[in-house]
Structure 1
Amino acid sequence: MPVQDTAHRPLRFGANYTPTQGWFHHWLDFDLDAVRADLDSIAALGLDHIRVFPLWPVFQPNRTLIRPRAVEQLVQLADAAAERGLDVNVDGLQGHLSSFDFLPAWTQTWHRRNIFSDPEVLSGQEEYLRTLAAALADRPNFLGMTLGNEINQFSGDPHPDPDRITHDQATAWLERMLAACEQGAPGRMHLHAEYDAAWYLDGHPFTPAQAARQGAVTAVHSWVFNGTAQRHGTDAVATEHHAAYLIELSKAWAVDPHRPVWLQEVGAPAPHIPADRAAHFTEATVVNALDCPDVWGVTWWCSHDVSRSLADFPELEYSLGLLTNDREVKPAGRAIAALVEEWRGRTPQPQVRSTALVVDAGGIEAAAHRSVCAPGGAVFEAWAKLTAQGARPALVLAELASDAAHLTARGITEVCTPDEVG
């Protein structure tokens, strides 16, 4: 599914689908009627797509067993979504969800193997991703595969039991898994998605260059509990523009100046965003993100609150939904619905960001000093300061800051360094 020419493609709005019955454990007791009711409530907000999360150990409990019934249920969910006008993106390797890890037994304890480098694990992952993609390849509403949800968190600190790899091994893993998705469903929008260690953490094996150059689109996940809200406050410019900052940061590493960027996860986490400010934060975050060029769409985390009957989630995870666990629309849901109505059929046409802040992250590929981009880092704080002053700064890598062709392609006419911002 081509994703080029975002300048003429209507903006997409969606939600990360969190089932009301059993959360993602619903795959163990799959109830299509409950799924249909959930999807009805999502579609009623005017949204046009969902992101869906199979649980890897449920779908592939043995390296050579991909359960046909589980795959069939995934297809049933996609078909139910189509009946409600919803497209579907499927995450494959879950992986990690809302503080819980879901890894199959054939990668753990007595069978402990590195999920990014062990040859047998890699072949199993390939077959799994290819199978899911192929099962949906003939569905018109299938957008494509995301390799997994923030699977980079397994590759290093602060994970308590990481599968450590090098930058080169991460690159090879991404290339191989994206190729498997393409084999299963040629021409669809296959991508990978990492949490912000890829952008902010020195030495992390998953890098900004990989995020901005591999896969059909760049995915960014914006969470202000990463130090942004703690440092700047709930209503601060830096907090309300964090998603926009990540979009612009991704464009600094992109080879294609008009590479589409998908704001694939963004939410209003309490207490960093109090409940009475969630609607305001939601509107401000989306409006600011749409002031960036080449945004493919916005997918809110998440569709429905987590039931309080389920134990041991971090407190903030229970209340991130656009709807309650009883499918009642929350203030953030009303804010999204209003934005969907405002933007229906329209394509953002933001003005060119002609001033760019220089990012010296210690090399294009390894980005050895990328912590300058994190909250508290020189680049982040300078970008936030410029934005608070009313500027609309882009970001450009130090290695490209004097490349006339690169600057011209992006419409950049002026560059400045964080030191010059003060």
Structure 2
Amino acid sequence: MPESTDPAPDATANALQPISAGIVAALVGFTSSFAVVLTGLRAVGASPAEAASGLLAICVTQAIGMLYLARRYRQPITLAWSTPGAALLAGTGAVAGGWPAAVGAFVVVGLLVVATGMWPRLGALITSIPTSLAQAMLAGVLLPLCLKPVTAFAASPAVIAPVVLVWLVLQRYSKRWAVPAAFGAATIVIGIDVIAGDRVPSASELIPRVDFTVPHWTWQAIIGIALPLYIVTMASQNIPGMAVMKSFGYDVPWRPAMSVTGIGTVIGAPLGGHTINLAAISAALAAAPTAHPDPRKRWIAASSAGWFYLLLALCSAAVATLVAVAPAGVVETVAGLALLGTLGASLAGALRDETGREAAIATFLIAASGIGIFGIGSAFWALVVGLVLRWVLAPRPIE
């Protein structure tokens, strides 16, 4: 009797393992935070169509970046949009010059990221910012968004309760899928409301399209959006992303990674994308042993995630339309729930250093206040005040 030529079950399973890991990484990354991205883009002046175009742009640019980096360096290098950056946009709001000025700020962020890869001193300058202050600034920006589930529940408990309940149950049994499941519940709530109100979107609204915006530069947008967004992206995404990859035994090439993400940000900005960067938390989904027993084959997971993000890009208009017709508070609730973990980590990082705790608390409070001075948002002023307080309160050596 001839031997079977079918591949061994274990070999087949191992071959499919990185592909499924990549699909999960892309699906979780997209569904858990796209609401934050759309909220942030709308807050700085994007129309629903421009926000949908921005979501499409960052899906495509990060997908192409992943496909290139993973195949070129044979490492599971995954990219993501900056969720903390999108939250910062939501807290910043409109700036002088409106949406075109925000787009100009996104271009500046991309150029700064490229410069960071090319000029080590710029990277050293960013890393010299105390982690506690950067985390405190991020926590302050996140706080208003994370309060949205509370205020939305108080206003419409019957609408918000199913979303929160589904999230809570999944938090108990499968944290990874808690936010995607909450979005699924929100989709059902939105669908019922749309049908009841006879506001069913037309087919043309579901077709993905790009909206080009000519960048405009104002000093308020550069200082109030570009600089905080750059700092948050580097401190909360790129640098931790490198550390996560290193923990799994991968040395990500710094200059190529910064060049790809920076150039991708510049290209995607006129289409509405805010920024792309190295994945941090979700990086483990492709780099961990669960993606493949052989570390040399885990790059397939990142490549698979890239291809799947191209498919998800086709959903950009549909999810943006869904967000646009949602009852008040539903999308904000999903976004707030998605950011709770990031808020907790940021607060822990901000308060870990006892010597600079007062400066970190002041930074947190100013960022959370949402104040604007000279047309510049609270995130910038929070960091400035925090740095000044840290310098003033620093213990001086006794001569």
TM-score by length of 1: 0.23
Rg larger for = 2
Q: Which has the higher strand share?
A: 1
Structure whose residues are more often helix by fraction:
2
